[in-house]
Amino acid sequence: MIYGDIEKIKKFDLIELEKLIGIKIDGIVDYDLLLLLGSYKQKYNIDIGFVLDDDNKIVYIFFNNYANLPIDNADELNVPQGRLFLLTNGNNLHISNADKAYLRKKHLQFICKVIYDGGIKNAEVAILDVDDIKLQDITSVEFINKYGIDEKLQEALQSFKELGKGGFSTNENDQRAVLVGVGRRGDDIEVCLNELQGLAEADDISVVGRFWQTRKKPDRAYHIGIGKLDELRDIIAEKQANLVIFDDELSANKIKNLEDELEVKVEDRANIILDIFAKRAKTNEGRLQVNLARMKYNLSRVNAFQNTASKGLGMRGVGETQMELNRRILKNKMYSVEKQIEQMKKQRELRRMRRKENREKVVALVGYTNAGKSTLLNKLTDADAFVENMLFATLDTMTRECYLDAQTKVLLTDTVGFIDKLPHEFIDAFSATLEESIESNLLLIVVDISDADCQRKYEVVLSTLEKIKANNIPSLVVLNKSDANSKYTINTSKETILVSARSGEGIPQLKKKIKEYLYK
């Protein structure tokens, strides 16, 4: 699979390079391969690189920019701990913060930048949790083979193994992010960035700065105005940031453009949410749904990569063939996961049928993430659902028995929390789980009444319920955290009840009200 700036690369050279994909090399790196690719670098005066997987097979070859390789699909494309090599010129040898952030995010073993100028002259390596390894200047390939890169990389890998690490460090505390928001005049961008910061912190990312711009609509190329790029660069340099997170979902082209200009890793809100889901999912079904959401998110990115790759090659050239192959790989994986989720969906349907036969009533807790649903579940059922003051602390659905009184038992279900700008891939992938809300007899819409932004969040919940066709189910609004003595309230036509899931205040009245709704 060939990516990057290939418009000027002749078709017959692309065909020859395609033949290298899948070839297994010996050792950490094959110098004949470096020399071969170096010849292409010199021929076209363009950086070239490749990625090896754990089996030492070549999985990607790229020109100029590696940032948009679809390594997000690590599980699907067998690059869980790949190794990336880039042949470049002397001006681009230094491994930047963006390089390091990319390695951490993609869980690669290392990145090696090699100076090629008619031969291999020098190299620099960044490797998992080991200080950057700068290799000495090399004047001949023979010297490298005997004393150079291979030996140094072996030493680096051995040092890493001795630290007891099995792969790239996933401690994202090393990531220092600047948050970026774009909105119209009158939009409360600060509120949006506060929520984005909560998402970043839930993803173990340190937020070191913020940047926002007021404009009628986002820029087509950079999302922010091109004149604002210098200001953002200054903040990145001042805060020593190695990551930029945009509050809106970005196209693959925008991400590439921004990374080229800012020279740091760029993420969007949707990808951060998906990262959090991947960390929080504990059950097999939760993991499958996260995996499906990730693949749906990445499919459009793969299409964009290949659309770029196919430019100038004709309708039936190498680019088109590879594009179809990549799409087919992802679609086949998605089909397999969807079949497994569909099987679980059938099992859920059987359980719901049994509940109906047994005349069991089901109550679903819904609400904005971190509204206190899990705490309320615990209070109502004496359950042990995980509770933490963070966004998306829990992801997997939990159903427990709840006794409204000595004779009346219902099933209480805690579903995943909602959030503004929820990626549509999430709703598609989690449809099976969200059906627990659709099939319930009563919805308890939990609202954190201590939150100054509670009205907007309540409206987001109503909008999401409408999207999943659950807006016609009888519902009761539970104003949680009454113990906070909040001055806030919400405007709603629905009946409300004030409780504190933490202290238990209002819980007896809530149980009585649930019974009234279910057994009118």
Residues 6+ positions from 240 with CB-CB distance below 8 Å? 97, 176, 208
Is 386 found in the same domain as 490? yes
Orientation of helix 284-309 relative to helix 318-357, angle to 10°: 160
What are the helix and strand counts (H, E) for the chain?
17, 17
Element (H, E) at 52: strand 48-52
Are 63 and 47 spatial neighbours (Cβ–Cβ below 8 Å)?
Answer: yes
For 164, counting Cβ atoms within 10 Å of its Cβ (0-12 exposed, 13-18 middle, 19+ buried), the class is: exposed
SS (H, E, C) 340-386: HHHHHHHHHHHHHHHHHHCCCCEEEEEEECCCCHHHHHHHHHCCCCC
Does 350 fall in a domain?
Answer: no
Is 393 found in the same domain as 309? no
For residue 191, the SS3 value is: helix
Element (H, E) at 43: helix 31-44
Is 507 found in the same domain as 369? yes
CATH of the domain at 489: 3.40.50.300
Predicted model pTM: 0.58
Is 247 found in the same domain as 121? no
**Calpha distance 249→297 (Å, rounded):** 10
Is 28 found in the same domain as 136? yes
Bridge partner residues of 125 (DSSP): 112, 133
Distances (CA, A) of 451 to 108, 142, 192, 371, 409: 40, 67, 14, 9, 32
Is 399 found in the same domain as 334? no
Distances (CA, A) of 435 to 115, 253, 283, 344, 476: 56, 35, 17, 12, 18
Element (H, E) at 409: strand 409-414
**Calpha distance 106→383 (Å, rounded):** 37
Are 377 and 400 spatial neighbours (Cβ–Cβ below 8 Å)?
Answer: yes
Does 354 fall in a domain?
Answer: no
Is 373 found in the same domain as 328? no
Residue 140 has a pLDDT of 41
Are 267 and 241 spatial neighbours (Cβ–Cβ below 8 Å)?
Answer: no
Bridge partner residues of 267 (DSSP): 245
Does 478 fall in a domain?
Answer: yes
Is 158 found in the same domain as 177? no
Are 50 and 37 spatial neighbours (Cβ–Cβ below 8 Å)?
Answer: yes
**Calpha distance 253→269 (Å, rounded):** 16
**Calpha distance 253→185 (Å, rounded):** 26
Is 436 found in the same domain as 396? yes
Q: What is the DSSP string of 99-158?
A: HHHHHHHHT-SEEEEEEESSSEEEEEEEETTEEEEEPPP---HHHHHHHSHHHHHHHHHH
Residues 6+ positions from 18 with CB-CB distance below 8 Å? 2, 318, 322
Total count of domains within the chain: 4
Are 259 and 193 spatial neighbours (Cβ–Cβ below 8 Å)?
Answer: no
* Residue 344: closest CA among 426, 413, 429, 432: 432
**Calpha distance 203→175 (Å, rounded):** 10
Q: Which of 162, 182, 210 is the last residue of a domain?
A: 162
Q: Phi, psi (5° rounding) for residue 516?
A: -60, -40
Is 176 found in the same domain as 126? no
CB atoms within 10 A of CB 87: 26
Q: Which of 229, 248, 276 is the last residue of a domain?
A: 276
Does 345 fall in a domain?
Answer: no
Does 348 fall in a domain?
Answer: no
Does 88 fall in a domain?
Answer: yes
Is 366 found in the same domain as 320? no
Residue 376 has a pLDDT of 92
**Calpha distance 488→482 (Å, rounded):** 10
Q: What is the pLDDT of residues 470-481, one digit of tens each?
A: 888 999 999 998
Is 195 found in the same domain as 151? no
Residue 207 has a pLDDT of 92
Does 329 fall in a domain?
Answer: yes
Helix H segments across 358-492?
373-381, 424-429, 431-438, 454-467
Q: What is the DSSP string of 257-317?
A: HHHHHH-SEEEEHHHHHHHHHHHH--SHHHHHHHHHHHHHHHHHHHHHHHHHHTTTS-TTS
CATH of the domain at 194: 3.40.50.11060
For 128, counting Cβ atoms within 10 Å of its Cβ (0-12 exposed, 13-18 middle, 19+ buried), the class is: buried
Number of residues written out for the chain: 520
The amino acid present at 38, given as its one-letter code, is: G
Q: Which residues of the chain have pLDDT under 50?
A: 73-80, 129-147, 149, 156-157, 159-173, 305-320, 385-387, 393
Are 243 and 205 spatial neighbours (Cβ–Cβ below 8 Å)?
Answer: yes
Range of the domain at 233: 172-276
Are 421 and 269 spatial neighbours (Cβ–Cβ below 8 Å)?
Answer: yes
Does 177 fall in a domain?
Answer: yes
Q: Which of 257, 276, 295 is the last residue of a domain?
A: 276
